[in-house]
């Protein structure tokens, strides 16, 4: 499979070539890959910011312990989970299903009620943990799409989420910076690309029961 070969090619890029920019065509494909990601119940309770503004990225670099990928990469994807539990999110989703699939809301209202009941049992901390996990599903699609297009990326948790929230005004929007991914092209000076990929063996990783 070419997909497997592309996964072998990719790595968490430590140094980007700041002179190379991802084209609008490829950026659109990356956004579509994220849009098509799986999510629990199909809700997609997150928003993805693509930060291009250089001054903003300089501030975000400081909030990322000075890691150069934040400013050197072509684009910075910031995955933000919804920090508040609101039933209107579910109502909006049910309305979207009805509109997209051309069916009556009454036919799927039971599904909406089921989701509300299920998620309503979560505490605030459980909700925030669950909604944050959803962003990692879409992050995986971004990384795989990048590999397919031979675009480099570096998933990163090493940043101050509260500082990101303040800089990007996320708190006011009921959002929380969950995980980030600088996207662009590797620099020839990045020695990490020449190292062998280290993974567990198939025997260690898998068990058939």
Q: What is the pTM of this model?
A: 0.96
CATH fold of the domain at 2-32+46-83+132-205: NADH Oxidase (3.40.109)
pLDDT band at 1 (very low <50, low <70, confident <90, very high): confident
CB 80 within 8 A of CB 47: yes
How far, in Å, CA of 143 to CA of 137, rounded?
10
Residue pLDDT, tens place only, 86-124: 999 999 999 999 999 999 999 999 999 999 999 999 999
**% the chain with pLDDT above 70:** 100
How far, in Å, CA of 128 to CA of 164, rounded?
17
Residue pLDDT, tens place only, 71-96: 999 999 999 999 989 999 999 999 99
**Which residue bears the tokens 């898998």?**
206
């Amino acid at each position: 499979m070419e997909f497997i070969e592309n996964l072998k090619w990719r790595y968490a890029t430590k140094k980007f070539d700041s002179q190379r920019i991802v084209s609008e065509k490829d950026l659109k494909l990356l956004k579509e890959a994220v849009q098509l990601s799986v999510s629990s119940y199909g809700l997609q309770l997150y928003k993805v910011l693509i930060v291009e503004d250089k001054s903003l990225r300089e501030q975000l670099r400081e909030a990322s312990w000075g890691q150069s990928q934040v400013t050197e990469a072509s684009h910075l994807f910031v995955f933000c989970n919804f920090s508040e539990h609101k039933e209107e999110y579910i109502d909006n989703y049910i309305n979207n299903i009805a509109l997209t699939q051309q069916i009556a809301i009454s036919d799927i209202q039971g599904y909406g009620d089921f989701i509300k009941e299920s998620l309503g049992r979560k505490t605030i901390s459980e909700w925030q943990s669950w909604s944050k996990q959803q962003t990692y599903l879409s992050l995986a699609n971004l990384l795989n799409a990048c590999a397919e297009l031979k675009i480099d990326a570096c998933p990163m948790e090493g940043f101050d989420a509260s500082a990101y929230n303040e800089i990007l005004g996320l708190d006011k929007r009921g959002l929380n910076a969950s995980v980030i991914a600088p996207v662009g092209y590797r620099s020839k000076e990045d020695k990490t690309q020449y190292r062998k990929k280290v993974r567990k063996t198939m025997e260690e990783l898998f068990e058939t029961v």
